[in-house]
Amino acid sequence: MMVKDCPVKLNNEEVIVFIFDGIEVQAPAINREAYTVRVKFDGNRYEIVADDYEEPEAKAETKTAKKTTEHKKVQKDENEE
Amino acid sequence: MPDINKANRQVCDCDIRILKNKVPFLFFDTANTTTAGITAENVYAMAKGARRITFQNPLSGTMSITAQVFPFKFYALLSDGTIESTDATAEHAVIKCTTGGELPLAITGGTIETGSIFVYPKGSFGDDSAKIAGTYATNKFTATTAADLVANSEYEVGFICNRTSGNVKKITFNNKKLPKDYFISMSTLYKDEEGTYVPYRITAYKATIQRSIEFSWTSEGDPGSITLTFDLSEDSDGNVVSMDEITTDIAINPSNG
């Protein structure tokens, strides 16, 4: 998944056209003025997201999982002692 | 050479050239009616209410070509004579959904103008309340709500197609593209009382088209017809119209047989 700020080429009451990685994309109107829009692309579908939207970090989940493992390991060690 | 009586019942072939440089613009031999009319109204000096001395106003005239069969370039006479090679046209297509939630939309011979694509269920084209929301990119329309596009169903799509060089010919009518003046030569045959055909040429030395025309396209009655009318004026040598009877026609490359 990618999140990018894309320049707006056309913005009217029916549609908005933005440029994502050089590709022109037409999407339903956002009904506000915008020179750029933040777009999330999952490889198949483009979605305009809020300007402050941040791409979820996949690594964060891995870290949590590790911590859990480490925590369990510590608990296991303690139990063994 | 005796001046034998002759009659005409043959439409003219028209050779239309750009006045400025005599470059051939269009040779046209499928007209149904060709006319040339000249007028010079008389004005009179009156004496005690009666016409006593007659003067002629300067000569003016019109030339018209009416045709049902003609090339596209014929219309260019109404513009500045140029034919452009790109254009944007409104297109309507019925497309079958092959994968639920998506509609393939790729064309050849032009490009789809992004921002102009609107999708409707079949039979609802132009119905704003039925319009299917979605995104379009790289030859595919993806519905915002996947259930709006059902596999194996047909949808009506409207879009603007940018047609490129080689795929379209375009003539623009506007107030920037003004018609040129033309040198028009019309040729026909007269038949004399002895059954001999004699070529005639009618030349308009400076013809300017009247930009008043009504196009019609109909599915009933006679095939569509178009009449182009030119105003005739005087060229720099003072010529307006001439008519030639060709007593001995030219031979082109006579030695080649």
Nearest CA in chain B to A39: B135
CA distance A67 to chain B (A): 38
Residues B159-190 as b/e (b if ≥16 CB within 10 A, e otherwise) read: bbbbbeeeebebbeeeeeeebbbbbbbbbbbb
Q: Check CB contact of B120 with chain A, cutoff 8 Å.
A: no
Q: Check CB contact of B68 with chain A, cutoff 8 Å.
A: no
Nearest CA in chain B to A20: B137
Average pLDDT, chain B: 93
Q: Say whether B37 sits in a helix, a strand or coil.
A: strand
pLDDT, tens digit (0-9, with 9 covering 90-100), for B56-87: 999 989 999 999 999 999 999 999 999 999 99
Residues of chain B with pLDDT under 50: none
Contact call for A28 and B136, based on CB within 8 A = no
Which one of B117, B137, B142 has the shortest CB-CB distance to A23?
B137
Residues of chain A with pLDDT under 70: 58-81
- Interacting residues of B131 by C-beta distance below 8 A, sequence separation 6+: B118, B119, B120
Nearest CA in chain A to B138: A23
Q: What is the ipTM of this complex?
A: 0.71
Nearest CA in chain A to B128: A14
CA distance B153 to chain A (A): 21
pLDDT, tens digit (0-9, with 9 covering 90-100), for A36-53: 999 999 888 999 999 888
The DSSP code sequence of chain A is -EEEEEEEEEE-SSEEEEEETTEEEEEE---S--SEEEEEE-SS-EEEE-TT--PPPHHHHHHHHHHHHHHHHHHHHHHH-
Name every chain B residue with its beta carbon within 8 A of the beta carbon of A44: 142
Name every chain A residue with its beta carbon within 8 A of the beta carbon of B104: none
Write out residues 22-81 of A within 8 Å (CB-CB) of B: 23-28, 44-46
Among B135, B136, B145, B157, pick the best mutation site for testing chain A contact (most A Cβ within 10 A).
B135
Q: Check CB contact of B117 with chain A, cutoff 8 Å.
A: yes
pLDDT at A9: 96
Q: Check CB contact of A13 with chain B, cutoff 8 Å.
A: no
pLDDT at A73: 53
Q: Check CB contact of A14 with chain B, cutoff 8 Å.
A: yes
Q: Are B209 and B45 in contact (CB under 8 A)?
A: no
Q: What is the length of chain B? A: 257
Name every chain B residue with its beta carbon within 8 A of the beta carbon of A17: 114-115
